[in-house]
Amino acid sequence: MRSLYQIISQLTGSCHRRTQPVRDPDGRLLTDDEAQLQRWRQHFMEISCTEQPSSTQDNFRSIVPSNNLRISPTAPSIREIKDAIRKLKRNKAAGDDGIPAELLQINTQLMAETLHPHFNNIWESERIPTSWKKGIIIKLPKKGDLSDCNNWRGITLLNTSYKINASKTKAMRINNSNTNNITIGDNTIEFVDSFTYLGTIITSNGGVESDVENRLRKTRSAFGRLHRVWRNQQINRKTKLGIFNSCVKSILLYGSETWLTNQRILMKLQAYINKCLRIILGVFWPDRISNEDLWHCTGEVPIQEQIKKRKWKWIGHALRKEPGSKKKNC
């Protein structure tokens, strides 16, 4: 599958975005590499560093431990370390040490035995190594003027600390008449009518129209980037449909398990899928083909049935959870 996506990327001619010059806090454009590096360091320090609370209420040592913990208080065993190594996700970027998960998984038993004494020392001393606190910040572009550092998103590799940035925190009220402000330190949190979470647009009215329109925009972009694939006569129909389902339709139906759909939304989604299928089959005006014949040739089913199947699959996944699970209770 990884090789397939690499081939698709080559066929679409997609390329990485070049480095963009940024501006300093006064709006001056920085073209020198060292000056840009210092600006990025300053930016990420500003948005990630927060003041530590001095209140005695935050003294965690005053918390009385429970005797009903489901977590073992003993140091991790070799078997537990081995299981953790085996569950590491592959094809992920390495951190400051440059060691990927694949390297540790070559011999899980040997690595578990090697790491076990180090984990025991950390467990007994209750001190995390300084090297574990280091991370590599990767910047990803968002929308807007890319010379503004605020229009970039930073992700940190192998850094598990979570820091609150009040300037980027938003709040939304749903079926709540409370109008009191929310403050973090000296910052007042802005209330919004919608926000994006994990690629899904959530609105205060609980509707899905905005999210569906957002899905359609992303899908049109993905389908357009693959125009060379659709027009390539050397790629057979079955392969094209597989690429369409994996790289296009999956974007369109992302999060549809929670959609509250109506007939208008279903018709809009179905019309776009039919349009894509006609382009893949090479059916253009004035050629005519009924929707039923189109679905038969491509092995498709109506979009309503596809969404219903995804919903039932998700419900089944939730119902199979252990008793007391939040997903099952919801």
Residues 124 and 250 in one domain: no
Residues 243 and 307 in one domain: yes
Does 122 score more than 60 pLDDT? yes
Rounded Cα distance between 96 and 19, Å, is: 22
Q: Find the radius of gyration of the CA atoms of the chain.
A: 26
Cα angle 55-60-64, degrees, rounded to a multiple of 5:
125
Residues 98 and 139 in one domain: yes
Residues 27 and 158 in one domain: yes
Does 163 score more than 60 pLDDT? no
7 found inside a domain: no
C-alpha dihedral sign at 302, 303, 305, 309: positive
Of 303, 259, 295, 304, whose CA–CA distance to 277 is shortest? 295
End position of a domain, from candidates 109, 143, 163: 163
The answer to whether the pTM exceeds 0.85 is no
Residues 284 and 314 in one domain: yes
List of residues 6+ apart from 162 with CB closer than 8 A: none
Counting every residue written for the chain, the total comes to 330
Q: Characterize the bridge pairing of strands 183-184 and 187-188.
A: antiparallel
pLDDT digits (tens, 9 = 90+) for 9-55: 777 665 555 567 888 888 888 888 888 888 888 888 887 665 544 44
Residues 103 and 87 in one domain: yes
What pLDDT is attached to residue 73?
Answer: 64
Rounded Cα distance between 172 and 195, Å, is: 8
How does 130-140 read in b/e, with b if 16+ C-beta sit within 10 Å? eeeeeeeeebe
Q: For residue 180, what are the domain limits?
A: 164-194
C-alpha dihedral sign at 191, 197, 199, 200: negative
pLDDT digits (tens, 9 = 90+) for 55-97: 444 444 444 455 554 555 677 888 888 888 888 777 777 777 7
Residues 34 and 157 in one domain: yes
Number of structural domains the chain divides into: 3
pLDDT digits (tens, 9 = 90+) for 144-161: 888 888 888 887 775 322
145 found inside a domain: yes
Which percentage of the chain shows pLDDT scores above 90? Answer: 25
Residues 221 and 306 in one domain: yes
> What distance lies between CA 33 and its chain's CA centroid?
30
**Amino acid identity at 317:** H
Residues 173 and 159 in one domain: no
Residues 239 and 325 in one domain: yes
How many Cβ atoms are within 10 Å of 300's Cβ, its own excluded? 20
What pLDDT is attached to residue 85?
Answer: 83
What pLDDT is attached to residue 69?
Answer: 47
Residues 181 and 241 in one domain: no
314 found inside a domain: yes
Mean pLDDT of the chain: 79
pLDDT digits (tens, 9 = 90+) for 272-302: 999 999 999 988 877 788 899 999 999 999 9
What pLDDT is attached to residue 187?
Answer: 62
C-alpha dihedral sign at 293, 295, 298, 299: negative
60 found inside a domain: no
59 found inside a domain: no
Contact 132, 99 (CB under 8 A): no
51 found inside a domain: no
Which percentage of the chain shows pLDDT scores above 70? Answer: 82
Q: What are phi and psi of 139, to 5 degrees?
A: -100, 135
Q: What is the mean pLDDT of residues 242-266?
A: 91
Residues 142 and 245 in one domain: no
Structure-token pair, residue 139: 């910047």
3 found inside a domain: no
Does 134 score more than 70 pLDDT? yes
Contact 190, 170 (CB under 8 A): yes
